[in-house]
Amino acid sequence: MTGNGANGATTAREVKISCRNIWKVYGPECDSYFDDRNGVVDDPPGLCDRMREDSHVVAASDVTFDVQAGEIFIIMGLSGSGKSTMVRCLSRLVEPTAGEVLLDGSDLLKASEDELIDIRRHKMGMVFQNFGLLPHLSVLENVAFPLKVQGQSRPEREARAQEMVELVGLEGRENAFPRQLSGGQQQRVGIARSLAVEPELWFLDEPFSALDPLIRRQMQDEFLRLQKMLHKTIVFITHDFLEALRLADRIVIMKDGRVVQMGTPADLVLRPADDYVAEFTKDVPRVRVITAGEIMDTGGGGYDGLDPANGVAAETTLEDLMPRMASHPEGLAILNDGGAIIGRVTPQDIVRALAAADAEAS
């Protein structure tokens, strides 16, 4: 799996959370369409049409995907596509009508209320567009609040909260109240609070969409910095493809409650499944999604003349690679995570890749 996010080159990872044939339907007697939580009476495509004809709202339609440990998995689509419904089904803030949600192999939908509370307190972190800070509590108290709910002592929770405040770059603002902070600072508090419980799984639903463009870009940078340090499993919701492009290891695009396409950012940009996906990606320059690892020449192991000191990682995009080519016409070494040379990219490789991408797009 190739990622543009913090995780780097292709790796095989364990599955952290899966959704299997998830349906979320609103309307009277919607359960009558399903033989139980995990089974559908009718053929799924026909079932969806029947439900809508019967005035039901189908918010999620037979959705299936896996989220691998340590990856940034982005769900995106236009308003009403079902993306926020899905993240709420994964966390059981909304109860799916049918299907399975497997967390570390166990069906989350079968968890008791007490078990679910414990999972949310200790395994899940959530950040939403609305920061949800408690206005009467200071920054430190806001961050420490979930630890207070867990029953930790005041010294323990304040020490942990202080670590998180420093992690998100808010040291010196511990005693400030939310009204005294900028929008970006408030969102940092929300992120620190969600990380205080050391979650294994992190849900973020359009966390930066309320911020102005400059602050939004800074928060994306901060998010990637944190992910490089923490290696969380992240499900991230956005409607902004350029944001997804910066952050995602993989993206799933939804429309009318169903999955249209799933893959790496490069998969979606270079090989859109249909016109809907193509519309999402039409303005994305190819140099921002094609990576060095995708076009490198492995050369049978011979890399004479290449200096590892000038090498780049396999996930480096052509946009970042091209300026360096001016002073290295012989090509650049492509390095793995251990710093060993695994390939070479030359200016000619870049020209061929862009020409092929343009030909495929047309």
> Is the per-residue pLDDT at 280 higher than 90?
no
pLDDT of residue 338: 86
> Is the per-residue pLDDT at 312 higher than 80?
yes
Alpha carbon distance 291, 312 (integer Å): 11
pLDDT of residue 361: 66
Instruction: Give the global pTM.
Output: 0.83
Tens of pLDDT, residue by residue over 19-36, are: 999 999 998 888 887 865
Sorting pLDDT into bands at 50, 70 and 90, what band is 49? confident
> Is the per-residue pLDDT at 76 higher than 70?
yes
Mean of the per-residue pLDDT values of the chain: 87
Q: Which amino acid is at 173?
A: R
Sorting pLDDT into bands at 50, 70 and 90, what band is 37? low
Tens of pLDDT, residue by residue over 292-307, are: 988 898 876 567 778 8
The mean pLDDT value for 232-250 works out to: 92
pLDDT of residue 139: 95
Alpha carbon distance 295, 353 (integer Å): 7
> Is the per-residue pLDDT at 167 higher than 80?
yes
pLDDT of residue 122: 86
The mean pLDDT value for 7-16 works out to: 62
pLDDT of residue 271: 87
Least confident interval from 5-19, 136-150, 251-265, 294-308:
5-19
Least confident interval from 161-165, 249-253, 278-282:
278-282
The mean pLDDT value for 240-245 works out to: 89
- CA angle, 269 as apex, 265 and 273 as ends, to 5°? 105
> Is the per-residue pLDDT at 201 higher than 70?
yes
pLDDT of residue 2: 39
The mean pLDDT value for 197-208 works out to: 90
Tens of pLDDT, residue by residue over 328-342, are: 888 899 998 888 889
The mean pLDDT value for 73-96 works out to: 92
Identify which has the larger pLDDT, 36 or 242. 242
> Is the per-residue pLDDT at 73 higher than 70?
yes
Q: What domains, with CATH codes, occur in the chain?
A: 287-361 (3.90.1280.20)
The mean pLDDT value for 331-356 works out to: 89
Between β-strands 15-26 and 57-68, what pairing exists: parallel, antiparallel or unpaired? antiparallel
How far, CA to CA in Å, does 279 sit from each of 255, 274, 353? 12, 9, 22
